[in-house]
Structures are given as structure tokens and as C-alpha cells.
Amino acid sequence: MGSGGREIHVPVLTREVLYWMSPVPGGVYVDATLGLGGHTEALLTLEPDIAQVIGFEWDSDAADLAAERLASFGSRFVLVKASYTQLREELDRIGVDRINGLVADLGVSSLHLDRSERGFTFKVDAPLDMRMSQDIALTAAILVAKLSEAELADIFYHYGEERQARRIARFIVEARGKEPIHTTAQLAALVSRAIPVKYHPKKIHVATKVFQALRIAVNREFENITKLLSAAPQVLAEDATMCMISFHSIEDRIVKQAFAKSDEFQVMTKKPVQASQEEITGNPRARSAKMRVAKRHF
Ligand SMILES: C[S@@+](CC[C@H](N)C(=O)[O-])C[C@H]1O[C@@H](n2cnc3c(N)ncnc32)[C@H](O)[C@@H]1O
């Protein structure tokens, strides 16, 4: 749906989040990636004994929409317009010491993809922006203009798992010498020209991986997840549950390794929890979701 209508983001693995979180009466929970509030709404509706859900969201547009949607829960919902990397500082600010559980539904929201002017998608021509939060300084256009060929290739290869990373980076550096690359359409056309037609993927757009890689770099997604995982033990109460939902193999690896190597976590899911076929049929985005769960261990 476009920016004119009611924005919808169907939350993934909601039933599984509720099951693993097993909320306690009077408990206080954090939704680290509030988005449009789908998981928070489910927690507050289906678990009437939860005292409070504190939702972190760094995108003002999403935060405002979620606040409107969740207004009827009154003081049971608290909005924190900040990055989840500020978890400890923000909880201190609102006077919360420990929480009983945390969910993070990583990745991009449908709001970002639907609002073409935010520059996340190659489907519509728009400024090459891709910032999830208005507080981020560097846009995708700036990265494309300023990074060296080797840095661009690294980003495309590591964050996008793009095999043609070097070739695409070379094309970009050649092209930007002639004319600045400001828009999503310019970048998509350039990637399409850089990759020989015989290597164009059949199931996805040829620029999908490059766009994904730039989005991850602009928003420092992997660094932020690492920070969240190291901040969480300072706020989780004994036996509190942390549910991490990822959509990218590197994200999933970061979560798996952080849970495994920390004495402060007890891993509850040896293998990641995945969506049922029924859920995937109704919401294809759920296909790549992987949830790992750990409990705070003292
Ligand atoms: C997949 S969506 C969450 C959707 C949400 N569960 C729902 O049901 O509507 C991810 C959200 O996390 C937000 N986000 C990503 N990184 C963040 C960060 N470091 N701090 C706060 N919010 C973040 C994004 O802006 C986006 O709105």
C-alpha cells in the first residue's frame, strides 16, 4: 500500500514469539523494533496481564503510526523514539531497571519499501536514500559517491552475497566519474549493465542484492545487532527471554554466535524457529525469517 492509505506490515512468527516469551503477569517487555506495532499489539491484546510494552523505533514515520495504532492501550504502551542500541540509557531515562523479555524483528519494514520516496526499492525511481532513521547522516547516494571501489565491492560481496561484486563496483566508479549517481533507477540500470545478461538471476531483480547490501551498510545493521546483543544482558531480569528474528544469514550467524559464546545466555532453540507453511502462504516475507531464543542466565 502506498503512503496515502493505511500502512500495513504483517508481523512474522507472532504465535511463536508469544509462546517463547511466555509473558509473566505484571511483566515489562521491550519490542526493540516496534515498526508499525504488530508484535506489540499482539502482546498487549493477547496477554492482558502484561503491565507494559516499551517499543523502540528510530524511524519517526513508523513510530508516529505505531503510537496512533497503540493509543488505546494507554500507559501499557510506552514509545521510545531511539535506536535499540541505546537500550540501557533509554530504560534508565524512563526509570526501568530490568525487563522480563525482549523481541527484535530485524530487517526492513513494509513501510520503508512501500514509501518509494525513501529510496529502498529499485521498483520506483527515487533519491538513493535508504536511511531507516532520519538521524542517520550518510545516505546510500553518499556511500555510492564516496567509497572506494574496493570498499563498495566488499559491501556488495559481504552484505549482499553478490558474486559480481567487483565488476559492479568497477562499473559504479567508472560511471560516477562521468555523472553523479543520485537515484534508485540510475543505480539499478548500472547494475543491470554491469552484470552480463547470462548471469542475471531469474527469480529476483538483478539489483536486489546490491540494494540490500547498501541498505545494511547505510543503517549499520550488523553493528547495531551486535550492540543490542551485548547490551541486553544488562537489562534482562533472571529467566527473561530474548527473541531475535532475522532475515539474513549473516544476522542469524551474529545472533547464534553471540548467544552461544555468552555465559549470560542460555540457548532455548538449538535450531532456529521458522514459520509454518500456513504462515508463509499468507505472508511470503515469513519464508526467510529465523528466530533464535535465549534466556538470561545469572
Ligand atoms: C521488520 S520491522 C518491525 C515490524 C514490527 N515487528 C511490526 O510488527 O510492525 C523493523 C523495524 O525496526 C526498526 N529498526 C531497525 N533498526 C533499528 C534500531 N537500531 N533501533 C530502533 N529501530 C530499528 C525499523 O525502522 C523498522 O521499523
Q: Kindly state whether residues 204 and 238 are assigned to the same domain.
A: no
Q: Kindly state whether residues 171 and 188 are assigned to the same domain.
A: yes
Q: Kindly state whether residues 87 and 152 are assigned to the same domain.
A: no
Establish whether residue 35 lines the binding site of ligand 1, counting it when its CB lies within 6 angstroms of any ligand atom.
Answer: yes
CATH number at residue 256: 3.40.50.150
Test site for ligand 1: of 15, 33, 228, 288, most ligand atoms within 8 A of the Cβ: 33
Domain span at 192: 137-218
**Residues in Cβ contact with 156 at an 8 Å cutoff, skipping those fewer than 6 apart:** 162, 164, 165, 168, 169, 209, 210, 213
Average pLDDT over residues 155-174: 97
Q: How confident is the model at residue 264 (pLDDT cuts 50, 70, 90)?
A: very high
Whether the predicted pLDDT of 171 surpasses 50: yes
Residue 188 lies in a domain: yes
Residue 130 lies in a domain: no
Helix residue ranges, H only, the chain: 14-21, 38-46, 60-70, 87-93, 110-114, 140-146, 149-160, 165-178, 184-194, 208-218, 221-231, 249-261, 277-282
pTM of the model: 0.94
Whether the predicted pLDDT of 107 surpasses 90: no
Rounded to the nearest integer, the mean pLDDT of the chain is: 95
State the total domains in the chain. Answer: 2
Q: Among 172, 203, 218, which residue terminates a domain?
A: 218
Whether the predicted pLDDT of 3 surpasses 50: no
**What's the rounded Cα separation, in Å, for the pair 58 and 79?**
10
CATH number at residue 167: 1.10.150.170
Establish whether residue 62 lines the binding site of ligand 1, counting it when its CB lies within 6 angstroms of any ligand atom.
Answer: yes
Whether the predicted pLDDT of 279 surpasses 80: yes
Q: Kindly state whether residues 241 and 99 are assigned to the same domain.
A: yes
Residue 129 lies in a domain: no
Taking CA atoms only, the protein residue closest to ligand 1 atom 12 is 33
Taking CA atoms only, the protein residue closest to ligand 1 atom 4 is 35
**What's the rounded Cα separation, in Å, for the pair 16 and 289?**
12
Whether the predicted pLDDT of 187 surpasses 60: yes
Q: Kindly state whether residues 201 and 227 are assigned to the same domain.
A: no
Q: Kindly state whether residues 88 and 176 are assigned to the same domain.
A: no
Q: Kindly state whether residues 149 and 164 are assigned to the same domain.
A: yes
Q: Kindly state whether residues 54 and 82 are assigned to the same domain.
A: yes
**pLDDT for the residue numbered 6:** 55
Q: Kindly state whether residues 214 and 195 are assigned to the same domain.
A: yes
Task: Locate the ligand 1 atom nearest the alpha carbon of residue 228 and give its number.
Answer: 19
- Dump pLDDT digits (tens) for 224-248: 999 999 999 999 999 999 999 999 9
Give how far the C-alpha of residue 221 lies from the chain's centroid of Cα atoms, to the nearest Å.
7
Q: How confident is the model at residue 65 (pLDDT cuts 50, 70, 90)?
A: very high
**pLDDT for the residue numbered 215:** 97
Residue 54 lies in a domain: yes
Establish whether residue 226 lines the binding site of ligand 1, counting it when its CB lies within 6 angstroms of any ligand atom.
Answer: no
- Dump pLDDT digits (tens) for 20-33: 999 999 999 999 99
